[in-house]
Structures are given as structure tokens and as C-alpha cells.
Amino acid sequence: MEYRQLGRSGIAVSAFGLGVMTFGGQTPEEDAGRQLDLALEAGVTLFDTAENYPTPIDPATQGRSERVLGGWVAARGVRDKVVIATKVAGPGNAAGDMRHIRGAGRRLDRANLRLAVEDSLRRLGTDFIDLYQLHWAERAITTLGRSRYSLLPDEPGQVPIEETLAALSELLDEGKIRAVGVCNESPWGVMRFLAAAERQGLARIASIQNGYSLLDRSFELGLAEIAVREQVGLIAYSPLAGGTLTGKYGTDPAPIPGSRSSQSAGFLARLSSGRQRAILAYADLARTHGLEPAQMALAFARQQPFTTSVLMAASSAGQLADNLRATELRLPKELVQAINAVHDAGPNPK
């Protein structure tokens, strides 16, 4: 396993991390424990969760993912060996109605952030969080998953980035968190966070957790240069595009028991003809080079110069064991060129 610096925080993280958003929900606790053990044995040190997990979002299960992860860390006695990352839910989350988390007035202000941190610390059973991330921006961002921009007016009471960052800086100074990150952010937002940190002497964000995969390389259009030049690397989620890059879905895709396709009625409907063509082309490329499609997709995301870590997420321990074979895989130059050719023929298919 390769280890990389988390921005300028001084924290080292594994180049592959484990996302636990289904733990405590779709993934039974026993299988979650097996996955966590497998990941740690493979050298994974970064474990990512959020206060609103598990998914699908449900008031009855909210916070269980943090509890499952924290319980495993305590039972194994590995707090000094792992980097725990979690997230705070603000008003801009795109996960549906979450008024069960701090009510309708949930904001990224000082009061909400302090309440959220204390609740996460309690569920995780720890004295500090290594990487504390804003799950979504306070404002509406209209470019994620889309190829064009729409201007939406700011809502009344929107908390400025500077105010949010000042509150996070207090938590860092108090030792409750060790580093700050953003998720689902735009180039403008990242640069505003960096400018505020420099101008006001506040905490500097260490990472950007956005979606990135062979089917969605939009991060490269504006954020990649920022990530490299400003040392705010990508923590890539959904590197297998919801499982579609595993090679499981052919020309006539059908739901697979236990997978996301069986959990969401609209999942397969989103597999447009353009996406299916790209998926099949990537699968053919992988097999031509003696690789499993999932392993190729994971290795590609990992070896990008702007990537700090790639979050794996698996439906079962068996699937995770297969994906972990990508940890030492390095794609040759000719394969990367072939991947880029497929992408260039139909970038980021919808």
C-alpha cells in the first residue's frame, strides 16, 4: 500500500481508503467488521463516514455508520493506526429531507458545527476526528453531475465561507479535529476557502472529496490543477460509478441481488446508451490487458497526480477482497493512453 500526505496537515493516509456509508444499514454489522478487518490487513488507514450515514437516509438509522466504525476501532484497539474521516451535514446536502439532524435550521455555522462534532465524537467513541469534512457547501452548486452552470440566488441566512472556516479553526485549535476538508465543491469554493485561510490565518483545507471515475472525470476540468498546485488533493468517491465499472452490467443490464441496482428502482434507468458504450469499452480494455474492470478503474483513479486517496466501497467482504487487489496495480502507459482515447471519444457520458 502506498501512503500519501493529506494536504499540508502532516497526516499520512493510504492511497486507498474505505467508505462505510452502507454500514449499519444495507451492510450487516458482521460483514462490515469483516470488510474493516480486510481493509486494515491490506494497509488501508483511511476510513470515511458521515453523520447522516448509513444510506439510504433514514431518521431511524442516522449515525449508525459512525457507531459501527467507532465500535470496530475500539474493539480492535487500532485508534493510533487509523485516520477517521467524517462529515457534517449542512443545508445544501442533496440526500433528501434531513430535518431529523438538528432540525430545519441546520447550517454550517458555529453552533451547528460544534453540536455536530460533539455528536460525531460520541458516536465514534473517540476524543478527536482526524479529517472533518463539509459534506456539501452551504450554497447551491449546480455544476455537479451536469455539463452546464445555472445561477441560483443565495438563500436568506446563508453562512459565509469565512464564518464556517473560522468555526472549524476553533475546533482544530481545541484538538477536536486534526484537519479540515470539503466535499462536492467547485473550483470557486475551494479557492475561496484557501483565500480565507491565507487572509485571516484560519485553518487550511487539506482535501477535496468529490466523485471521480472513468465515467466522470469532470474533476479534471477545473479542480485538478488546484489540487496539485495548492496541495489540496482529491479523495475520490464512487470510483466504480456505483458498481457499473465492475463489468457486471452487459449490453442488456439487469438488477443484481444485493447490489445498488437491486436497491434503487431508477439505477439501471440511468445507464444511458452513451454510458453503456463507455462501460463496455473500458471492460474490453481491462480484459485485453488481463485485468478485472474494477481493478483497472480503481488503479486509474489512484495514479492520477491530483489524487490523495480513492475510497473503495463494497457490497460484501468478498467484493472488497477482489477490489483490494488493485492496491499494488500500476497501469502501463499504453493502457492509460487507450483509456484516454475512450474518454476523449465521449467525455463524461450522461
Active centre residues (catalytic): 53
Q: Taking a C-beta distance cutoff of 8 angstroms, is the pair 223, 208 a contact?
A: yes
Name the residue among 50, 38, 49, 48 with its Cα closest to residue 1: 38
Name the residue among 127, 126, 145, 128 with its Cα closest to residue 136: 145
Residues 6+ apart with CB under 8 A from 291: 329
Name the residue among 20, 54, 24, 22 with its Cα closest to residue 37: 20
Count the Cβ atoms, other than its own, within 10 Å of residue 61: 16
Task: Give the CA count within 13 Å in the CB-facing half-sphere of 337.
Answer: 3
Burial 182-219 (b: 16+ CB within 10 A, else e): bbbbbbebbbbbbebbeeeebbbbbbbbbbbbbbbbbb
Angle, alpha carbons 26-32-35 (nearest 5°) = 125
Report the C-alpha gap between 109 and 227 in whole angstroms: 26
